[in-house]
Structures are given as C-alpha cells and as structure tokens.
Chain A
Amino acid sequence: MAARKRKQSPQHEDQREKVRFYPAWCKRCGNCAAFCPQHVIEMDQWGYPHAVRTHDCISCHMCEKLCPDFAVTVGEETPSSVSRRGAAGPSPGTEGSLVSQDHSPERLAKTPHPDEEEHD
C-alpha cells in the first residue's frame, strides 16, 4: 500500500471538528475506527475513539451509521451549532425543561437543517 500522504491542507484547521464524538454515549465498541474506509479514526489508550486524520475524511458517514450509540456526528461544525450545543432551553432537570438531569443536552439540541434558513 502506498504511503498515505499527510499533506496538511490549508483547511485542515477548520476541519478539525468535522468528525465529532459524544463520549457520554460512546460505549467504546470500536466500530467507527474499524469500518472507516479512510482510517480517519483511532482508539486512544482508554479505548475511546478520536479523529486523527480528519483531512482524509470523505464524509461517507459510515462511522456515523455504524455507531450503535449515536455517538458520532460528521459534518462541518458551524458557529451556530457550537452556540446551540448545550443551549437547548432550560438546563436539564430544572423547571420548564423536558429533559431530565440524566440526559445529554448537547445530543438533544436541535440542529438547523442544511436547507433551512436560520432566523435567529
């Protein structure tokens, strides 16, 4: 196999967040690392996955679909998704929140549909 080029594209910095994990739901099964066709994902010494070669990612969404625990999201992280993380209404477990304390607020935050215009 030809040696993989490790060229750092100018967008590399922006792509760092392209493959994101949600550790609170991850069960360290390793599917995402085992079945990524581009070998983007590796497991760390604690058995948790992390993206090491994000610039090789072809956005095939295989890791996302083969994760049994909804713990991977592939896609550009937009400023609005960052600001929305953890900002889904009242804090979990407090009055007015539909989400109890045990739940994972970031995972349950609504993300804008790509075709939808945002009106904030």
Chain B
Amino acid sequence: MTVPSTQTVVYEWLRHDKKFPHVWCPGCGLGILLGALVRALAASGLTKDQVALVSGIGCAGRLPVYVDVGSIHTTHGRALTFATGIKLSKPELTVVVVMGDGDAMAIGGNHLIHAARRNLDLVAVVVNNRTFGMTGGQFSPTTPMGAKTTTALYGHIEPEFDIAAVCATAGAALVARSTVYHVDRLERLLLQALQKKGFSVVEVMSPCYTNFGRQNLMASHVVMMKQLKEQGIPVERWQKMSEIERRGSFPLGVLVDRDLPGYLDSYREVCKTAAKLRSEGKI
C-alpha cells in the first residue's frame, strides 16, 4: 500500500476553513491520531459523504472539527447517544465516535457500556491520556493508582479502569488497542474497526504532557512516547507472558473480534413485525 503523502491527506480530508496549526499542545498524541484516522478513512475507500464523525467534549472532542466530513461536536459524555440517533436514522453512514477517557468512561461510562451491549454498528475511538486534559489534569477513571493529578496531589488512591476490558465484557464486537507511538498498528486497527460490522472500540493510549506528564515528573512528551513504546506489547507476545512480566505494560492489537447479532438487523425485524401486525389490523 502506498502511503498517501501528508499533503494529499491534508488537502483531501482536512477542512480548509479551519485554522491550522490545530489547538492541541506541542507533541499531543491527538494530532497523530488525527493523521492515522484520516489515512484509515482514505484507505477504507469511503467517500467523505459516507462518514459521520461525532465527538463529546474535551481535547479529544476537538478532533472531528478538523475533518472535512459531516461532523458534530456534542455534549460531554453523550457522543454515543447522538451517534446512535445518527446511525438509526441513516444506517448507510459509517459513524465514528471520538471520545476522551473522561468523556467515555466517567460522565459517559453508562452510555459506553450500553452501546457495547446493544452492539449497534458504530466505531468508538477512545483516547486514553489517563487524565482530564482539557480541564487541567484532574484524575479520570483511567488514572493509574499512585499518579499525581490536580485533584490527587499526594497520589491517586483508586485503581484504574481497563477500557478495553470493560467494553469486551459489555459485549462489543471488536475491541482493539494501540498507542499513538505504534502509529502503523493504530492505522490498521482503525481500518479494521471501520470495516467491522457491530460495535467496535479502539482504545488509543496517548501522551498528555501538559496536564499529566508534568505533574508526574516526566521530562517531556518524547519521554512519554518512549514509555508508551515500551509499555505496549503485541497481544500475541502478551499472552505468553507471566503475571509479573506483564506488570506496567498492556497488550496491543485486536483483543476481541466476534460476530454478534447486530442491533440494526433486530430493529429492522421488529419494524417489519409491527408493520405486518398493523396491516392485519391486530394493533
């Protein structure tokens, strides 16, 4: 596959009426994700009119604003509910939802597990930077125990959520994880999620130096990127590792891939049944 040049991607998929450089901090992983997502969209063969991009609030929520497709920047935690409405009324669209970890797991946690359970054909991209980036680095449900945050000055005292594991348990059809450092893998996983029928989740580990790294005495976002490089272990290798070896790292790749009955099909069936009963005068 030839790599589309940055210039081609920028010209064809980013909005020309938005101001660049974008708002994110220097070295923020969100810019890398934006590139990977756009390249995956280009590789999927979808046209811009066939894609809808939905986001909640947060630094991650800013992402759809830059992509030249139908996009909506919704309220905090409710991106999946808007996306559900879009998909039900226009099933022909490929609906991609971009959320931060706070957006998806804190205020929107309920929506995420129920969207996964319902298995509607959506792509959820959850950017896990382990903190509430936009509001100044408070702890989120994915902040690791012991980490310092604006609201945990002496170290966080709660264990963290594993987003991928939660989604897998809740019933998502595809669950995958990558970091922004492993950008080629990220691109492949996003493409796979776009092509998968059913609820697909891609957890993207991303550095937030400004509001997480600085509080935890990391020297720069480059150091954080190097850390992600070491912590992310391909799932094939991860499975062979012992519990002790796994400490401090996480598996990358496709964690769950299964075919489940989709909500859209069941919904169409029930519509048909209702229409039939009505035509027979039974309701």
Contact = CB atoms under 8 A, between A and B. Distances in A.
Contacts of B29: 68
A29 B5 contact: no
B36 interface: yes
A68 B5 contact: no
Interface stretch (A7-15, A50-58, A69-77): A69-77
B181 A111 contact: no
Contact of A67 (B17, B31, B221): B31
B98 interface: no
A70 B31 contact: yes
Given A65-B36, A103-B16, A73 B21 contact: no
Contacts of B14: 70
A73 B11 contact: no
Given A30-B222, A31-B222, A107-B20, A68 B28 contact: yes
Interface residues of A, number: 39
Interface residues of B, number: 39
Nearest to A33: B222
Interface in B76-129: none
Given A28-B26, A114-B2, A65 B32 contact: yes
Contacts of A70: 6, 9-10, 14, 20, 31, 35
Given A65-B35, A68-B28, A34 B225 contact: yes
Interface in A54-88: 61-62, 64-75, 81
Contacts of B20: 25, 69-70, 103-104, 107
Contact of B183 (A30, A65, A99, A114): A65
B128 to A, nearest CB: 17
Most chain-B CB neighbours within 10 Å: which of A25, A73, A111?
A111
Secondary structure class of chain A's binding surface, majority of residues: loop
B24 interface: yes
Contacts of A34: 222, 225-226
B19 interface: yes
A110 B11 contact: yes
Contacts of B180: 66
B225 A31 contact: yes
B283 interface: no
A64 B225 contact: no
Contacts of A28: 26
Interface in B1-51: 2-3, 5-12, 14, 16-17, 19-22, 24-32, 34-36
B184 interface: yes
Contact of A73 (B7, B24, B187, B221): B7
A62 B185 CA distance: 12
A108 B19 CA distance: 12
Given A70-B35, A108-B10, 9 more contacts: A24-B21, A29-B222, A30-B220, A68-B26, A69-B20, A69-B21, A110-B8, A110-B11, A111-B7
22 contacts: A27-B21, A31-B222, A34-B225, A34-B226, A35-B181, A62-B183, A64-B6, A66-B32, A66-B180, A68-B28, A68-B34, A69-B20, A70-B6, A70-B14, A72-B6, A74-B5, A99-B17, A103-B19, A107-B10, A107-B20, A110-B11, A113-B8
Interface of B: 2-3, 5-12, 14, 16-17, 19-22, 24-32, 34-36, 180-181, 183-184, 187, 220-222, 225-226
Shortest Cβ-Cβ A-B pairs, 9 listed: A68-B31, A29-B27, A27-B26, A29-B26, A25-B21, A65-B183, A34-B222, A111-B7, A73-B6
